[in-house]
């Protein structure tokens, strides 16, 4: 898939938000429109809905060139099945960077770091603010609570929070996963099984996993370099690759079971863990094998396969691995939040420098009236609401 650079002002907005002093709320007319739309949607019988987030700029302004360097009046927009359900002026709490936009359960969350604080909004309204600028690695909801996992810029500590309140702080540790990795979903390094959430870390020598913020008690030797670790079906699963002098190994653990890959099927240090149906797999670049772009080993069968594909364009739903289509010259996918594999169908939020933005689905494309760019897409089952 063709990759394009993010415009300069979007990168600059990673560490800052809008320059204005106050959030500008949506008008009463906007609120009425939203209520009417939601009422209409409530009687629909579709099994799922497709949500998309966007930033809209004034007609005639070229968002891709961004000659005003981000200093332009913009709106935060949320679509449900191509209908606008939210459109508000962007204020000081909201970042324009698509990497800081997250759709979870049909709600649009944004993260923002400025002036020594981290700020989280939901559908344009501030819901959390705390001292210290943290780069978020994961975010999910648990009941009525928002759980975040971030790295403190000042101390490099890993910080777990609920609604902005600190639950745990871990030093000298690195979390596995983030919003930008193909083997993790739209919640990043945090992931849920049933009513519980999990994440795994490494100190460089030891791998540890956490359930609802509490260490599970399962640990593994990281074997100098751990590629990835996840807690799957109640077991700590990890992959470690060692390529040091004459030592070359790729070792995989499922709980207490140890598997060492044969030399011809070793990974480099890019191997990632994901569950595909009943199989637990490792996917990544093969070690010392230039003929293939990607390797996949299914365990415990040890079945190995190769395919030519770019993992940056891969999306998984836990059962299948799908790849984004090639983009046209005027098309952009601005972050991994702009794609989702839902029940074996791939949905992509594609921005266009000319013409309408589109939600590309497994059957057809849906055009959106938008002078701006799409920042995220999510498919949500209506049966669970």
DSSP, collapsed to helix, strand or coil, labels residue 143 as coil
Distance CA 99, CA 13 (A): 10
Confidence of residue 163 (pLDDT cuts 50, 70, 90): very high
pLDDT of amino acid 18 = 52
In a domain, 3, yes or no: no
249 contact partners, CB below 8 Å, separation of at least 6: 223, 240, 241, 242, 260, 261, 266
The more confidently predicted of residues 48 and 66 is 48
Taking every pair of Cα atoms in the chain, the longest distance, rounded to a whole number of angstroms, is: 69
Residue 215 CA from chain centroid, whole number? 24
In a domain, 65, yes or no: yes
Confidence of residue 282 (pLDDT cuts 50, 70, 90): very high
- Of 80-94, 241-255, 297-311, 324-338, the range with the lowest mean pLDDT is 241-255
pLDDT of amino acid 134 = 97
Q: How many domains does the chain have?
A: 1
- Of 31-40, 83-92, 261-270, the range with the lowest mean pLDDT is 31-40
Q: What is the CA radius of gyration of the chain?
A: 21
In a domain, 151, yes or no: yes
32 has a pLDDT exceeding 90: no
Spatial contact of 234 and 250, defined as CB atoms under 8 Å apart: no
DSSP one-letter string for 46-87: -SEEEEEEEEE--TT--TTT-TTTT-S--EEEEEETTEEEEE
Spatial contact of 227 and 284, defined as CB atoms under 8 Å apart: yes
Confidence of residue 218 (pLDDT cuts 50, 70, 90): confident
In a domain, 1, yes or no: no
346 contact partners, CB below 8 Å, separation of at least 6: 315, 322, 323, 324, 339, 340, 360, 361, 362
Across the range 230-259, mean pLDDT stands at 86
Confidence of residue 266 (pLDDT cuts 50, 70, 90): confident
306 has a pLDDT exceeding 60: yes
In a domain, 237, yes or no: yes
What residue has token string 């998984």?
A: 316
Backbone angles phi and psi of 243, in degrees to 5: -135, 90
In a domain, 181, yes or no: yes
Q: What is the pLDDT of residues 354-371, one digit of tens each?
A: 889 999 999 999 999 899
Boundaries of domain holding 42: 8-384
pLDDT of amino acid 225 = 77
pLDDT of amino acid 262 = 84
Spatial contact of 283 and 289, defined as CB atoms under 8 Å apart: no
pLDDT of amino acid 44 = 55
pTM of the model: 0.86
The more confidently predicted of residues 15 and 244 is 244
Partners of 305 in the β-ladder: 296
133 has a pLDDT exceeding 50: yes
């Amino acid at each position: 898939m063709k990759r394009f650079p993010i415009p300069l002002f979007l990168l600059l907005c990673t560490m800052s938000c809008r320059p204005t002093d106050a959030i500008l709320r949506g008008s009463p007319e906007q609120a009425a429109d939203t209520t009417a739309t939601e009422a209409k949607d409530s009687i629909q019988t579709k099994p799922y809905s497709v949500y998309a987030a966007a930033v809209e700029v004034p007609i005639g302004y070229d968002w891709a060139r961004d000659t005003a360097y981000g200093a332009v009046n913009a709106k935060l927009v949320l679509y449900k099945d191509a209908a606008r359900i939210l459109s508000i002026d962007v204020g000081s709490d909201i970042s324009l960077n698509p990497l800081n936009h997250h759709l979870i359960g049909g709600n649009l969350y944004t993260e923002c770091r400025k002036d020594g604080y981290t700020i989280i909004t939901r559908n344009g309204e501030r819901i959390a603010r705390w001292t210290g600028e943290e780069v978020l690695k994961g975010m999910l909801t648990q009941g009525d609570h928002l759980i975040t996992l971030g790295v403190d810029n000042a101390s490099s500590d890993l910080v777990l929070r609920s609604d902005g309140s600190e639950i745990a702080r871990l030093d000298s540790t690195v979390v596995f996963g983030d919003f930008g990795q193909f083997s993790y979903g739209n919640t990043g390094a945090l992931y849920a099984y049933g009513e519980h959430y999990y994440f795994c870390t490494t100190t460089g020598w030891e791998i540890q996993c956490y359930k609802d913020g509490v260490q599970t008690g399962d640990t593994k030797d990281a074997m100098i370099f751990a590629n990835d670790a996840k807690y799957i079906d109640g077991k700590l699963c990890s992959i470690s690759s060692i390529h040091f002098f004459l030592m070359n190994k790729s070792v995989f653990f499922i709980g207490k079971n140890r598997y060492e890959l044969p030399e011809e099927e070793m990974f480099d240090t890019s191997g990632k863990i994901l569950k595909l149906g009943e199989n637990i797999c490792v996917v990544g670049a093969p070690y010392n094998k230039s003929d293939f772009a990607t390797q996949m080993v299914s365990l415990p069968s040890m079945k190995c396969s190769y395919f030519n594909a770019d993992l940056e364009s891969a999306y998984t739903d836990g059962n299948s691995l799908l790849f984004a289509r090639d983009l046209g010259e005027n098309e952009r996918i601005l972050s991994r939040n702009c794609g989702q594999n839902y029940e074996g169908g791939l949905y992509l939020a594609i921005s266009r420098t000319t013409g309408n933005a589109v939600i590309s689905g497994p059957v057809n494309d849906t055009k959106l009236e938008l002078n701006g760019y799409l920042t995220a897409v999510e498919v949500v089952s209506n049966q669970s609401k």
